[in-house]
Every structure is written in structure tokens, then in C-alpha cells.
Structure 1
Amino acid sequence: MVSRRAFLAGSGAVTVGGLGVVPGFLSTAQAAVSSTSGSPARLLPVFNRPRHLDYGDVSKLSGGDQTLLTTLQGIVNRTEPELYFLYDTGTVSVPDAKWLADMHLPTKLYKNPLDLVAKYRGRIRGAIVHDPAVPDSLNVATTLAGLENAVVADADQAKAHGLKIVKDLRGMFDDDRVKTYRWQLDNLFPKVTHKLLAGLPPTRVVDVEGVQWQEIARETQQIRDSSNRGTYDLDVSPKLGKEAVYVRFADSFTDDGWGASVLSVSVKANGTEIAHFLPNTPEEAPYLFDGSHSSIGGENNRFADGGNYWIYRFEPPAGTTSLVVTVEMWNQYLVSATDTSPTRIEPFAYFRDYVVATKALVSWLPPGGATGDLLIEHYAKYPTLAPYMGWFANDVSGEWDGVDLASKGGSPVVAADFYMNGTVHAGFTAPISDKPRPVRRIDKPKNKVYLTLTFGEGDNIQYCQRRLREIWDDPKRGQVPTNWTISPLLAETGPGIYSYFQRTASSNDLLVCGPSGGGYTYPGSWKPAELTEYLKMTGGFMRRTGLDVVYAYSSRQDDKWILLSPEIAGGYAEYTPTKGIMQTWDGDPLTVRQGGLPITGQWGAPGKAAEFKAALDQRIANWDGASPLFISGGIGAWSWTPSDMAELGALLGDPYELILANSFYDLLNRVL
């Protein structure tokens, strides 16, 4: 049977055949649409539309069992999506369950999802067995699973489910990450898809239930200027008695981004020093139990903001009765301790269905040093515009360096490491309008402060799938004009998701293109000819999804964002339908015309409504009121909700006028 699916192109739905080497995917020739056809070329592989879904709740399964099922899902759903899993359960705002209900498809619930292995065993050749002693072997196993029509399992799982071992990776690799992924690139690259490459962590840190934390120290004031910087003695002796003591550093005010920051650590057991180190050094490594949720600052300090944290593990000598941790620390710290291991390491299962189904190469290469050099080699082998899907190691620094390397290599980034059921969402079609939102035109501008506010993170398709859905369903959404960044690539990775936001938007909600267009990127880092290709692709996706404003980055210089060049801004003006550009910015107020487009620096403030309003008042303190003032502001998508926006809107009386971004840039185009 020839597989088929409908995908949205412009304002009409075009049915295309899914012929080719991989069932369900367009061949290169089929994806390359002629310039006269009126339809954009396909960027990512096509999936068939699901007709019936077997589903189960996998939220309580181990990471190993989740990996077994998601790789099974990738093989099965490659031909036609038939498997769907619920990863988050127990609340009224669970996105997985909501998206499943929205599809209105026939479904069958499997109370034990692992029963699906037996049901679909005939669709797979067997198992690729990874080596638990070498975490990165799980990524190699995932790549091989896609190529061999197999699932990823450990030896015990393969035996328990009666799976033939197709390839056994135990003993094949050691802990040399570069050597492991070098083997994969050399041996598997010729066989994998070249439409995308993936980056996924091989393991995840999972919280252990029932761990009791005792608070040791807390900053009770909202200090953001390091004025409380000092040396603090943290007595964690009450947690002595077991093998080790775990000390967690977190943020005492989680909604404003100025959490604990530590520059040095020493530990004394019964008065004798047993540890002394600085963050981000080899000396720290033996004690850093979980640093994946923290970042490194400019002084080489370790910090964690919002809901993030890091944990040190100290194992004192037997008989220790006094354990004191001395730290140089500042800002809004919250320190707690426990005597129980608070986390465990498990395989990272998410997004592997999409990787396996598309036969993609998946690695995990921190973007610095030898691993960064190998990542550069990956980009060089792939064609321009092949997206890097997943994420990067090393949190914020990894993001900046990783996206910069991807940009230099001609690959837009799609943050997708927590994008669940991607093979189903990519296949489920729904109407997407190509008509931009009509502008509420301000014909005669007044001497006001015209303000437009935008929720960020929309380039991140997992955010669109999860957090955005949660806050979008806030009943107070629509009370005040609000912009929402979103990825136009959802037209191919999640048409139903994009359609939901588009069709349920109120007259006060405007979808805008997330940074910096068709995928997260830094335009200033691209080669000019390749950037032109990116901007043309972005323009096609924006027109296809009815977007006419873009939020963009530029590139960093001396640890600061610089203004988009006239050439880059002119490229946006020529190849995309954007009315203006919101640009990430950390300098003085910015409102300029560049390359024929108005560009405004995106400004933000810590805290919630009252603090945001106070910061706005301070920002306009020197405004003389003799002419209009324009401010483009960013809203923290992980901490704010529409209820917070409604609270802020109630505070914004004269001289402020809060408007949508299309009206904002329409007005700027006429007065700037």
C-alpha cells in the first residue's frame, strides 16, 4: 500500500505520496517543490496521519522501559502512527492527555504499556543492546535502532521480552565520548538521513521520592546586586549518620532569576579540611553530584536561578560528628541538606521515537574542546538548513556556544529534547491559516508610551507542546494584549499543536515567530549565502503560518548581544513578511530603523506585575512626553502566566498603552 498524508501548504491542503527508501517519507525529489507550484519545499520528513492510537501511561516507568517503548514507537509509527504515550499525569493540565483528546481519534488504553512490546514484536527485528557502563552507547544504540528496525534495550530487557539481540554494544566502547561518537560518524553517517541531526543526553537525573530536605540557610530579601556576598559557614552536621551528606543550592525567590551563586567551597569534618575546590574545575568534579540544572558565571561561579539547583555530595570519614561546609556565596540563596541520595540516573527516553523513525544520527557533544570540534565536523557533513534537533550539554553556556556552532555550520536549532510523541504530532494534520492577524491601526499616534509585551521560548517546540499549553489555557488569557512567540516549524513537527493555538487565540493574542525564524539561530554567525537560504526558508514558513512579526537574536560580542547588521535586517525585509524585529538586547534602550525595518531591543525586568511596573516607570523616568516612546518587553515564559499579565495590565494606566506587536511595528514603520 502506498502511504499517504496531507500537509498544509499556504492556504490549501495538498496530498502527497510518502514514497521512498523510508516508508512514510518523501524522497528528496518529492520534497523539492518547484518554484511555480505555489507550495513550499518540505524541510523535515513527512509522517502519515494517525487513524487509531494504542496508548498508555508511562509516567511511572523507569527510563529504561520508557526508552524501550519510545524506540518501539519510532519503528511502528514510521509507517503509520499507532502508538502514543502519556508522560505526565496527575494534574488537570496534563498536555499529553489534552493533545490526545484534541485529536478525536479512536484509541485503546493499555493499562500496562509494556504489553505493547508483545503486541508489536512482529514489527521489529529485535533489540540493540546498549552498555549501561557507557552511557553514550545508548545514543549509538538509538541510531542503530533506526537503521536496523530494532528497539533499544539492556540485556535484561531483551531477555524479559524475548527479543533477539540484533547488535550488542557491551564492551564495544569506553568512556571516551569523542572516540564513541567518532566511530558513529565514521560508520553510520552514510546510512542515516541527512535531513536532520539530533542531540540528546543519554541519561537523565530523576528525583527519588520521599527524600526529606532540611533547610540550612536562606536569604530572605530579594537581593540581586551581590551586596550580601560573603563567606558563610553551613553546618550540615544534623544530616550525619549515613554514608554521605548531600547539600543543595537553590533560589529562595524562584520568579525573578537571581538565585544562589557560589565561588568557592571548603569542607571540614571535625575541624579537618576534607575538601576544597572552585566551581567548574577538575577539583569540583568528585563532589558535584548533580550540576545539570546550574550554570557557570563570568567569575567561574556556579549559580542556579528560578526552579534550578545543584547538589554536592560529601562523604566524611567514619565517626565524624561535625561537618561544616564553608562557601563564598551571594544573592538569593536557599541551602538545604539531606542524608539520602536524592536522585538516580536513568536512560533519557524522550524524542527517541522521532529520531528512530527518521533514521537520524543522534549524539551528545558539549560544544567546547574536543567534543565541540567533533560537533563542528557533524555540521560540516550535513547540507545547509538540515536542523539540529534536541539540545546541548552545559545549560546556558552550552546553549550559546552550541547555537553559535550550529549557526556557523548552517543548521537551525530546534529545541526538542522533551518533545514527546513527535511521530504522532508530525503526522496529525489540522487547518493552519496563512492569513496574518489584521492590524488595529493607530492613525494618529499620541504622546504615549506604546508598549508591546511578548512571552519568549516559542522557538522551543517542547515548550509549545507543554508549558505553553498549560499557561495558554489560563482563563484570564485574552484580558490584555499579549504576544506569544511560536515556532513556524510546528507546521511540520506538530500541525495540530500550531492549529490549536492559532484557532483558539483571542483578539488580544498575537502569535509571533520565535527566534530567529525557522529554527533557533544567531543570524550574525551565519555565512552570508547560507543565511540567505535560512531567511528564504523562514519567509516561507512565516507566510505558511500567518506570522508577520519576528523575534530575533543577532550574535554575541564581548558577552553582549550586538545590533543586527543592515545586511541581515535587510535580508529579513526582503525574504520574510515581518513588519519589524524584536531583538534580544542587553544595552541601552534601542529603537532604530535598520535595513528598512524597525528594530526594538527586547527589554525585561525581574519579578511579577508590581516589580515589572516599577521597572517600567524607572525606564521612562527621563522621557519628556513630547513624542511617542516605544518599548518592546519580554515576559518570562517559565514564571509568568496570563493571570500575571492581567494583573500587570490593570496597573498600566496613563501614559502607557499596551498594544499587540503588529500594531506596534505598523505604527513604528510610519513614525520612525
Structure 2
Amino acid sequence: MVSRRTFLAGSGAVAAGGLGWFQTGSAAAAGQAGQASGQVGSGLVSAATESGGRRLLPSFARPKHLHYGDVTKLSGGDQTLLTTLQGVVNRSRPELYFSFSTMDNDGVDARWLRDSGVPSTRYADPLDLVAKYKRRIRGAILHDPEVPDSLNVATTLAGLENAVVADAAQAKAHGLRVVKDLRGMFDDDRVKTYRWQLTNLFPRCSHQLLAGLPPTMVVQTENVNWREIARETRQIRDESNRGTFTLDVSPALGQDVVYVRFQDSFGNDGWGPSVLSVSAKANGTTIATFAPGTPEEAPYLFDGLNSSIGASGNRFSDGGGYFIYQFTPPAGTTSLTVTVEMWNQYLVTATDTAPTRIEPFPYFRDYVVATRSLVSWLPPNGPTGDLLREHFAKVGPTTPYAGWFANDVAGEWSGVDLAAQGGSEVLPADFYMNGTVHSGVVAPISDKVRKFTPVKPQKKIYVTLTFGEGDNVQYCQRHMRDLWDDPRRGDAPANWTVSPLLADIGPGILSHYQRTATKNDLLVCGPSGAGYTYPGAWPADQLDAYLELSGTYVRRTGMDLVYAYNHRVDDEWVPFSEAIGRAYAKHTPIRGIIQSWEKGDLLVRRGGLPVIGNFSAPGKAAEYKAALDEHTKAWTGDAPLFIAGGVNAWSWTPTDVAELAELLTAPYELVLGNVFFDALNKVL
């Protein structure tokens, strides 16, 4: 499967049926009381009730003029300095904006800035903005480079103390007074570090949201020469090529360390390499032997952030992901071999140049600092998961957890499940940039449900295609914008999942998609409502609160379909219960549910609502069509058949959808989700 975290023009016609618009984005947000004293409530931007119902996420004042710069060439440390400065400055009114995709090639940040209509001034060197706004901050919180998690503690303190996050060298270079020096305060005990923060800082924080951000990130080294060692040239997904392979990586010998990378030889279908055992020999002598996921692996796993451990104990990585092992052969080694048991679509390459480096993770910190939120990074299993559970217990039901979880796919499943058990929905936002600006932009949001022409169900196979990932607001901000700008968008019907919480944290983004949608684009609510969650994992006495909240947001944004998950039992996804269906029917104005992580066979009513399983297929158009033919081969043609097809947003584009549509001749009929569920309701 492809990780949801793998990544990071049409007619422009307004949707048929008329639009009812209201302005969203806080033109007079709370929290403009001048410089904050560090106490909760002083200058803090608060969630508020507005037209259309409750606002879940804090908003900011409408920006009047923005100072911006391209930070793509800066280190993660300098980006962190600027994003925490941005949080303090933008708390009262947004004035700082940064581009994380170069402004010179019309990157997404440039497009959103242009679309906002806010006047702006560009700085060739964005670090000049530190001097410009130095008087607006109290100084710097120094994190400890030897203890990565101290960066998150420093971020929490920066919000409370109106300071920036810096290391000692940065503070000296910019002449910043040291407000708090965290060096030497913490050690490698992550639980102890974040427990100290929960005890000592949480009482001072805003409790409107919890944040989860990695303290560091892996940055690619430039100009690395990778040598190909082995490649599977067939699209194999069934382990039929499983075997033990001895790979000669001697051509990569040169420097002290050799790095061996495993990635997907077919990055568009989600069946990358699986490795079950590894050993290495230098001049015939064993220098390493280990199994993935064990303590013995740790010294050799250079980069496993984009991989996961499977049920068999195998390490795998799909799509655009990879994992890298490092080996240090003795001086004078002339022969280095690596023996692995592996299968599926592998591409193995090697180099003697360190391919990545570790830097501070800067993203979304402006929003965390501006809202004075507590930020941590606690993997959701084991002792760290127990502490994360305590975090959820300290906030009220439906308090959002914004950011993400460690350990890729496994971390997603267990993290979202843990949050749901604690009564919190998840806002995937760890790569959401300039949140303090986007949440303040005033833009028209339609609350009118899209009108359509119903069809009388005939003896056809009705197919509706849905781009996933829309609960992920950074996807909506970044990758979806690139997909949306595909010139073939609108050539074929497609549903686009988006987060209704964009009405708070990115009204200009949501408004753009509403206003530029063609007649063949339908925005639907991403999993599983107002924030990503598994409804079946919620405490029974709190689920109604989440679905009431979801009802508020789908009404505010005119959505009447939801793409949803439920929860897992014994590693299997469980269909929605009758009780959950009734709760959706009672609290949300939806006409149906597409349930994800299903094989396309589910078709039931729950609470009177049709629930249909999501059908997914690997490959692009021709392979997808072949999978549809195989899936529907038992259809007799005596009655309509309905297929809710999933579209992989990380590997498909509207051009791919248009190519598939050309293949879906009779008896197939491709329709939008509203037409699909209207017809389904008539026959189910």
C-alpha cells in the first residue's frame, strides 16, 4: 500500500445550481491586544462562534500587507527561526509570509499569495526580517541540538514567552537576548522530556488544540551519485519473486561508509520492496547480520522514516518512499556484499556519500506558536503512547490534534485510533505552511449543496471516482493545487475529498476550489468528517459530539457526501455499525458514505444511509480498467451495479482520470458522487 504521507485548468465555471456565499476568515479576530505577556488569554487568538455555527480552529485578523521571502535555500534551523518569529508577529495580525516552494517558478506558495490579493513586499534575504521584527519579540528560546525533542519544548515556550526558537549560534548572530536556555535540561528520555512539559507548560498553554510535530527532518544531500545494484523489472505484488539475493555493492566503496537504499521500482502503484533479513560481508567476513525492526537493526538503519514494519517482520516502503542501511567496512576492504531476503518491486542502489542530513523541522510552527499550543512528538505505542493518551485526557471532547504521528502507516493507524479513543479528531497539518496567514484571509465560502440532474438507474455499471487524502490540509494546500491546475481537470467526472476545516484554517484555499470547480468536479468531505478519525473507536458518549461538529462544518461548506474510515480490529477494517450510521444520519446532512480500506464489496444501509466500500486498483488507466473488469465479471446485467472507485492522489492526476474515462465504455457509466448516491438510494 502507499503511505498517506508519501509526499510531500478547466472552464472555471461556477457549480450549477446557484451559490450562497458568506465571508469566512476573521476580519476582527480575538487576540489583538498588543504584545502578550505570556499568560493564557492575553493576545491569544480564540476559536469563536460565527455565521454558520461553531468555529473549531483559532483564526487570525485579516492581513493587510505581507512581508515575504523565499526560504527554500535556508537551513531547517533558519526556517524554524523564521516560522516561530512568524507565529509571534502574526498573532496580532498576519504580516509575515514565507515561500517553501521557490517564488520564481510559480510554486504553490506564490500562487496562494497571488490569489489572496493581499499587497506584499518581497525580501531577497528573508533573514533580514529578523532584524525588522526584533522589537516585537522578547528574545530566543535556545534548544539543545544534542536533544532533538528540546526543539518542541522550545516551540511551546516560544509561544508562551513571545520568543523565537534558535540555537546558540543563531541567537548570537542576530543579537537576540536569551529568554530560556534548554541546553543540558533534558536527555534522550523522550517520555521524561514531554512529561516535564505536560506538567510545567501545559497549564499555561491554550487548550484549543494539541500539536504533534517531529522535532527534526531528513534533508536530501545534493549531488549524490547512486549506483544501481539490483532492480525488479516486473510489476510483482504477490511475493512470487521472493528469494535471497546477494548484492555486490563493491562499486560504491570509496569513503568510510557505504549506504544501500531500497525503493519501489514502480513508484505509482504502491508495492515496493519488502526485506526480511540482511547480512553484510567485507572481503568475505561478516560485519553485520540483523532482522528489520529489531535492536540489532538500529546501528545500520540510516533512514527508515519512509518505511514500515509489516506483519511478517519485514521492512517495506511503497510509492515514493525508501529506506537506507549503512555499513562501515574495515579499511582496505575491496569486496562488500549485502545478502537480503526480499520480494516485490525492488530497486536497490548504493553510494559512499551520506545521502541525507538531519535538520530542525520548521513547518506549522507559526500556527503552534501563535495559538500558544503544546507541541510534542510521541509515538502512539508503548510508554510514549501512554503519555500521549494522558494528553488527550487533559482536553475536552473534539479538541483537535493538529500535526501527525511517528512511524508512517503504522503510526497513522495507531495514532488516529488513540486520538479517537481520547475523543480527539486529527488535523493532518505537519507540512501546512503559513497557517497564520491562510486562516486570516477573508474569502467567500459556499454553504449551498451542489445541484445535479438525477438519472434513472438502468442496467449499467455506475462508477464514481474519488481522489483521497483531502483530510490532509497540507495536501489541500500543496499537492492538490498542482493536481487541480492540470489542464485536463474537468474532462471527466471526479470527486475531490477536502477537509471542511479549511473553512477555519484556509478559507481562501477552500474558496478557490469551490469557485474554480468545473461541472465535473465535486468536493466531498474527507475522512471522516470535521477531522480525520475512526468513528468506531470513539467513546460512545462522545461520538455524537464529533458528528454534531461534522454536521456544522459540512453545512457550512455545502458538502453532502463523506469519505470515511471506521476502525481496525485484529488488523482488519470494520464496517460501520447501525449505531454509527444512525448518528451520521441524525447529525450530518449527508446522502451517503464511501468507506475506505475496503475491497469494494461492501454495500449496506446503516441508519438509513447507503454505505459502499471503496474499490482500489493498482497501476494507471489500463490496469485500473482491467481490475474493474475482473471485479465486475460476475455481474449478470440484470440490475444496476455500483462501484465507488478510489484514486491514488499521490500517483494519479486528472489526466489519468480522463484516460480511464475514455476506456469506460458501455456497460460502464462514470458519474459524480451526488448522481451516484442518488441512483444508489433508489435501488438499495
TM-score normalized by the length of structure 1? 0.96
Contact 1:205 1:344 in 2 (8 A): yes
| Counterpart position of 2:411 | 398
Gaps of 5+ in 2: 1-18, 32-39
Q: Which residue of structure 1 lines up, in the alignment, with residue 63 of structure 2?
A: 50
CA contact (8 A) 1:391 1:415 kept: yes
The match for 1:448 is: 460
Residue 76 of structure 2 is matched in structure 1 by 63
Q: Which residue of 2 aligns with 1:18?
A: 29
Residues 319 and 474 (structure 1 numbering): CA distance in 2 closer, same or farther, change over 3 Å? same
Deviation for aligned residue 1:25: 4.9
Alignment of 1:46-195 (within 5 A): 46-89=59-102, 92=105, 94-195=107-208
Match for residue 658 of structure 1 among 657, 667, 670? 670
- In the aligned structure 2, how far is the partner of 1:445 from the partner of 1:178? 57
- SS of the residue aligned with 1:401? helix
Amino acid across the alignment from 2:300: Y
Determine if the alignment matches structure 1 residue 225 to structure 2 residue 238.
yes
Please state if 1:501 is matched with 2:513: yes
Q: Of 317, 324, 330, which residue of structure 1 is paired with 2:330?
A: 317
Residue among 195, 199, 203 paired with 2:212: 199
Q: Tell me the amino acid that sits aligned with residue 29 of structure 2.
A: G
2:681 maps to what in 1?
669
Does the 8 Å contact 1:11/1:544 carry over to 2?
A: no
Deviations 1:490-526 (A, max 9, x none): 0000000000000000000000000000000000000
In structure 2, relative to structure 1, the CA distance for the partners of 1:27 and 1:114 (3 Å cut) is closer
Cα distance change, pair 348–106 in 1 and its aligned pair in 2 (3 A): same
Contact kept in structure 2, 1:10 and 1:543, CA below 8 Å: no
Report 1:404-483 matches (<5 A): 404-442=417-455, 444-483=456-495
* Residue ranges of structure 1 left out of the alignment (5+ in a row): 1-8
**Map 1:161-560 → 2, pairs under 5 A:** 161-442=174-455, 444-560=456-572
Residue 39 of structure 1, CA deviation? 3.5
Find the aligned partners of 1:257 and 1:380 in 2 and give their Cα distance. Answer: 36
2: CA distance, partners of 1:275 / 1:632 = 48
Secondary structure at the counterpart of residue 169 of structure 2: helix
Q: Deviations over 1:6-39 (max 9, x none)?
A: xxx98434877534564665657xx357xxxx63
C-alpha RMSD of the superposition: 1.4
Counterpart residue type for residue 320 of structure 1:
T
Partner amino acid for 2:64? R
Equivalent of 1:639, from 651, 654, 659?
Answer: 651
Q: Which residue of 1 aligns with 2:640?
A: 628
How far off is 1:586 after superposition? Answer: 2.9
The structure-2 alpha-carbon separation of the partners of 1:16 and 1:340, relative to structure 1 and needing over 3 Å to count, comes to closer
State the partner residue of 2:11.
Answer: none
Contact 2:262/2:348 (CA < 8 Å) preserved in 1?
yes
**Deviation of 1:594 (Å):** 1.3
**2:14 counterpart residue number:** none
Structure 1 runs of 4+ with >6 Å offset: none
Compute the displacement of 1:41 (Å).
1.4
Q: 1:483 aligns to what SS in structure 2? A: strand
Match of 2:3 in 1: none
Cα pair 1:253 1:259 within 8 Å, conserved: yes
Matched letter for residue 542 of structure 1: V
Residue 3 of structure 1: aligned partner = none
Amino acid at match of 1:349: P
Distance change (3 Å), C-alpha of 1:313 and 1:453: same
Query: In the aligned structure 2, how far is the partner of 1:306 from the partner of 1:27?
Result: 40
CA distance in 2, matches of 1:73, 1:93: 22
Q: Distance in 2 between matches of 1:93 and 1:367?
A: 38
Secondary structure of 1:431 counterpart:
strand
Q: Deviations over 1:354-393 (max 9, x none)?
A: 0000000000000010000000000000111110000000
1:559 to partner: Cα distance:
1.0
Deviation string, structure 1 residues 248-288 (Cα, Å, up to 9, x no partner): 00000010111111000001111111110000110000000
| Contact 1:25–1:45 under 8 Å retained in 2 | no
Structure 1 CA distance for aligned equivalents of residues 463 and 478 of structure 2 = 28
TM-score scaled by length of structure 2: 0.94
CA distance in 2, matches of 1:192, 1:25: 10
3-state DSSP of counterpart to 1:585: coil
**Would the aligned equivalents of 2:45 and 2:91 in 1 still touch at CA under 8 Å?**
no
Alignment partner, residue 35 of structure 2: none
Deviations 1:111-169 (A, max 9, x none): 00000000000000000000000000000000000000000000000000000000000
Deviations along 1:456-507, one digit per CA (max 9) or x if unpaired, are 0000000000000001000100011100000000000000000000000000
Aligned length: 657
1:595, CA displacement in angstroms? 1.1
Q: 1:110 to 1:93 in 2, by over 3 A?
A: closer
Return the alpha-carbon distance in structure 2 between the equivalents of residues 124 and 22 of structure 1. Answer: 18
1:239 Cα shift? 1.3
Distance 2:62 2:265 in 1: 46
Give the superposition deviation at 1:90.
7.2
- Structure 1 Cα separation of the partners of residues 624 and 600 of structure 2: 17
Q: Which whole-Å CA distance do the structure 1 matches of 2:257 and 2:334 have between them?
A: 13
Kindly state the Cα deviation for residue 440 of structure 1 after the two structures are TM-superposed.
2.1
| CA deviation after TM superposition for structure 1 residue 296, in Å | 1.2
SS in 1 for 2:443: coil
1:591 Cα deviation from its structure 2 partner:
1.3
The separation in 1 between residues aligned to 2:122 and 2:128, in whole angstroms, is 11
Deviation at 1:89, TM superposition (A): 1.8
Partner in structure 2 of residue 6 of structure 1: none
Secondary structure of the residue aligned to 1:462 is: helix
Q: Contact conserved, 2:207 with 2:373, CA < 8 A, in 1?
A: yes
Moved more, 432-441 or 449-458: 432-441
Among residues 550, 571, 584, which one is paired with 2:596 in the alignment?
584
Q: Please tell me whether the aligned partners of residues 44 and 370 of structure 2 are also in contact (alpha carbons under 8 angstroms).
A: no
Quick one: which amino acid aligns to residue 132 of structure 2? K
Q: How far 1:295 sits from its partner (Å)? A: 1.2
Asked if the contact 1:455–1:483 (Cα under 8 Å) also holds between the matched residues in 2, the reply is yes
Query: Structure 1 CA distance, aligned partners of 2:192 and 2:579?
Result: 41
| Residue deviations 1:379-438 (CA, integer Å, cap 9, x gap) | 000111110000000000000000000000011000000000000000001000100111
**Map of 2:5 onto structure 1:** none
Asked if the contact 1:71/1:142 (under 8 Å) is kept, the reply is yes
8 Å Cα contact 1:24/1:47 also seen in 2:
no
DSSP 3-state at the match of 1:344 = strand
Q: Sequence identity, in percent?
A: 67
Distance 1:486 1:141 in 2: 32
SS at 2:201 equivalent: helix
Instruction: Choose 321-330 or 589-598, whichever is displaced more.
Output: 589-598
Which residue does the alignment assign to 1:608? Answer: 620
Secondary structure of the residue aligned to 2:445 is coil
Task: Kindly indicate whether the alpha-carbon contact (under 8 Å) linking 1:220 and 1:332 is maintained by their aligned counterparts in 2.
Answer: yes
